[in-house]
Protein backbone atom coordinates (compact mmCIF):
# COMPACT_ATOMS: atom_id res chain seq x y z
CA UNK A 1 0.00 0.00 0.00
CA UNK A 2 2.89 2.41 0.74
CA UNK A 3 3.72 3.40 -2.84
CA UNK A 4 0.07 4.23 -3.50
CA UNK A 5 -0.66 5.84 -0.15
CA UNK A 6 0.32 9.34 -1.32
CA UNK A 7 -2.35 9.10 -4.03
CA UNK A 8 -4.91 8.10 -1.41
CA UNK A 9 -3.89 10.99 0.83
CA UNK A 10 -4.36 13.39 -2.08
CA UNK A 11 -7.72 11.84 -2.98
CA UNK A 12 -9.24 11.75 0.50
CA UNK A 13 -7.65 14.60 2.47
CA UNK A 14 -8.41 18.12 1.33
CA UNK A 15 -7.79 21.63 2.59
CA UNK A 16 -10.73 23.48 4.09
CA UNK A 17 -10.90 27.26 3.90
CA UNK A 18 -11.75 29.05 7.15
CA UNK A 19 -14.62 30.87 5.46
CA UNK A 20 -16.16 27.49 4.61
CA UNK A 21 -15.81 26.16 8.15
CA UNK A 22 -17.15 29.34 9.80
CA UNK A 23 -20.83 28.87 8.80
CA UNK A 24 -20.63 25.16 9.56
CA UNK A 25 -19.60 25.92 13.14
CA UNK A 26 -22.07 28.77 13.57
CA UNK A 27 -24.94 26.58 12.36
CA UNK A 28 -24.25 24.08 15.15
CA UNK A 29 -23.75 21.10 12.87
CA UNK A 30 -23.34 17.95 14.91
CA UNK A 31 -21.46 15.95 12.29
CA UNK A 32 -18.19 17.88 12.68
CA UNK A 33 -15.23 16.58 14.64
CA UNK A 34 -12.61 19.32 14.90
CA UNK A 35 -9.33 17.82 16.08
CA UNK A 36 -6.76 20.30 17.39
CA UNK A 37 -3.41 18.48 17.45
CA UNK A 38 -1.37 21.26 19.02
CA UNK A 39 0.96 20.06 21.75
CA UNK A 40 2.22 22.38 24.51
CA UNK A 41 1.27 25.42 22.41
CA UNK A 42 -2.38 24.44 23.00
CA UNK A 43 -2.40 26.06 26.45
CA UNK A 44 0.02 28.91 25.84
CA UNK A 45 -0.60 30.37 22.39
CA UNK A 46 -3.89 32.28 22.03
CA UNK A 47 -5.24 30.34 25.06
CA UNK A 48 -8.29 29.55 22.93
CA UNK A 49 -9.65 26.95 20.55
CA UNK A 50 -12.31 26.46 17.90
CA UNK A 51 -15.84 25.75 19.15
CA UNK A 52 -16.38 22.13 20.20
CA UNK A 53 -12.87 21.14 19.14
CA UNK A 54 -11.03 18.38 20.94
CA UNK A 55 -7.32 18.49 21.70
CA UNK A 56 -5.33 15.37 20.98
CA UNK A 57 -1.62 16.29 20.97
CA UNK A 58 0.15 15.25 17.78
CA UNK A 59 2.70 13.16 19.65
CA UNK A 60 -0.09 10.96 21.09
CA UNK A 61 -2.46 11.09 18.13
CA UNK A 62 -1.66 7.74 16.49
CA UNK A 63 -2.36 5.83 19.71
CA UNK A 64 -5.53 7.87 20.31
CA UNK A 65 -7.25 7.04 17.01
CA UNK A 66 -9.24 4.03 18.31
CA UNK A 67 -10.60 6.15 21.18
CA UNK A 68 -11.43 8.99 18.78
CA UNK A 69 -13.37 6.61 16.53
CA UNK A 70 -15.12 5.07 19.51
CA UNK A 71 -16.30 8.49 20.68
CA UNK A 72 -16.97 9.88 17.18
CA UNK A 73 -17.73 6.90 14.90
CA UNK A 74 -17.55 7.36 11.15
CA UNK A 75 -21.04 6.02 10.52
CA UNK A 76 -23.80 8.19 11.98
CA UNK A 77 -26.62 6.09 10.56
CA UNK A 78 -27.85 8.33 7.77
CA UNK A 79 -24.59 10.23 7.35
CA UNK A 80 -20.87 10.17 8.08
CA UNK A 81 -18.81 12.27 10.46
CA UNK A 82 -16.64 15.01 9.00
CA UNK A 83 -13.16 15.15 10.53
CA UNK A 84 -11.24 18.43 10.46
CA UNK A 85 -7.62 18.55 11.62
CA UNK A 86 -5.51 21.55 12.49
CA UNK A 87 -2.49 22.66 14.44
CA UNK A 88 -1.01 26.15 14.75
CA UNK A 89 -0.41 26.66 11.01
CA UNK A 90 -1.57 23.34 9.54
CA UNK A 91 1.81 22.79 7.91
CA UNK A 92 3.13 19.80 9.87
CA UNK A 93 1.19 18.30 12.77
CA UNK A 94 -2.31 18.80 11.35
CA UNK A 95 -1.56 17.25 7.94
CA UNK A 96 0.52 14.48 9.52
CA UNK A 97 -2.31 13.58 11.91
CA UNK A 98 -4.85 13.59 9.07
CA UNK A 99 -2.62 11.17 7.13
CA UNK A 100 -2.22 8.92 10.20
CA UNK A 101 -5.99 8.95 10.61
CA UNK A 102 -6.64 7.93 7.00
CA UNK A 103 -3.93 5.26 7.13
CA UNK A 104 -5.53 3.81 10.27
CA UNK A 105 -8.95 3.77 8.58
CA UNK A 106 -7.52 1.96 5.55
CA UNK A 107 -5.67 -0.65 7.60
CA UNK A 108 -8.08 -1.26 10.48
CA UNK A 109 -11.62 -0.55 9.30
CA UNK A 110 -13.98 -1.41 6.45
CA UNK A 111 -12.70 1.70 4.67
CA UNK A 112 -9.74 -0.33 3.42
CA UNK A 113 -12.05 -2.64 1.46
CA UNK A 114 -14.66 -0.06 0.51
CA UNK A 115 -13.41 3.46 -0.17
CA UNK A 116 -17.00 4.77 -0.20
CA UNK A 117 -16.97 4.32 3.58
CA UNK A 118 -14.13 6.82 4.01
CA UNK A 119 -15.45 9.98 5.70
CA UNK A 120 -14.57 13.49 4.61
CA UNK A 121 -11.20 14.42 6.07
CA UNK A 122 -10.08 18.04 5.99
CA UNK A 123 -7.10 20.10 7.08
CA UNK A 124 -8.01 23.62 8.18
CA UNK A 125 -6.10 25.88 5.81
CA UNK A 126 -3.75 28.17 7.72
CA UNK A 127 -4.45 26.45 11.03
CA UNK A 128 -5.31 28.26 14.22
CA UNK A 129 -3.01 31.17 13.35
CA UNK A 130 -5.06 32.10 10.27
CA UNK A 131 -8.33 31.32 12.07
CA UNK A 132 -7.35 33.65 14.93
CA UNK A 133 -6.34 36.38 12.46
CA UNK A 134 -9.75 36.17 10.78
CA UNK A 135 -12.03 35.43 13.73
CA UNK A 136 -10.05 35.98 16.94
CA UNK A 137 -12.35 38.79 18.01
CA UNK A 138 -15.50 36.67 17.65
CA UNK A 139 -16.17 34.79 20.90
CA UNK A 140 -18.46 32.41 19.01
CA UNK A 141 -15.50 31.27 16.89
CA UNK A 142 -12.58 31.41 19.36
CA UNK A 143 -13.46 29.85 22.70
CA UNK A 144 -11.17 30.73 25.65
CA UNK A 145 -9.58 27.75 27.35
CA UNK A 146 -10.54 27.22 30.96
CA UNK A 147 -7.37 27.51 32.98
CA UNK A 148 -6.88 25.09 35.87
How far is residue 103 from each of residues 6, 62, 133, measured CA to CA in Å?
Answer: 10, 10, 32
Average pLDDT over residues 52-79: 93
**Residue 92, pLDDT above cutoff 50:** yes
| Burial class of residue 19 (count of CB atoms within 10 Å of its CB; 0-12, 13-18, 19+) | exposed
- Residue with the bigger pLDDT between 41 and 86: it is 86
| Burial class of residue 117 (count of CB atoms within 10 Å of its CB; 0-12, 13-18, 19+) | middle
Domains of the chain: 2-135 (3.40.250.10)
Least confident interval from 10-14, 60-64, 65-69, 78-82: 78-82
**Residue 145, pLDDT above cutoff 80:** no
The per-residue pLDDT for range 29-65, each reduced to its tens digit, is 999 999 999 987 666 666 778 888 999 999 999 999 9
**Residue 2, pLDDT above cutoff 90:** no
Angle at 91 between CA 144 and CA 71, to 5 degrees: 55
Q: Is the dihedral of CA 90, 68, 109, 16 positive or negative?
A: negative
Amino acid sequence: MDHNIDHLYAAFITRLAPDTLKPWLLSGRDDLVVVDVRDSDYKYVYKACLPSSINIPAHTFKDSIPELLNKYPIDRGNSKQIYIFHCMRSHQRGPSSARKFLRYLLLHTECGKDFTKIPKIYILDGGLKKWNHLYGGDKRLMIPLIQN
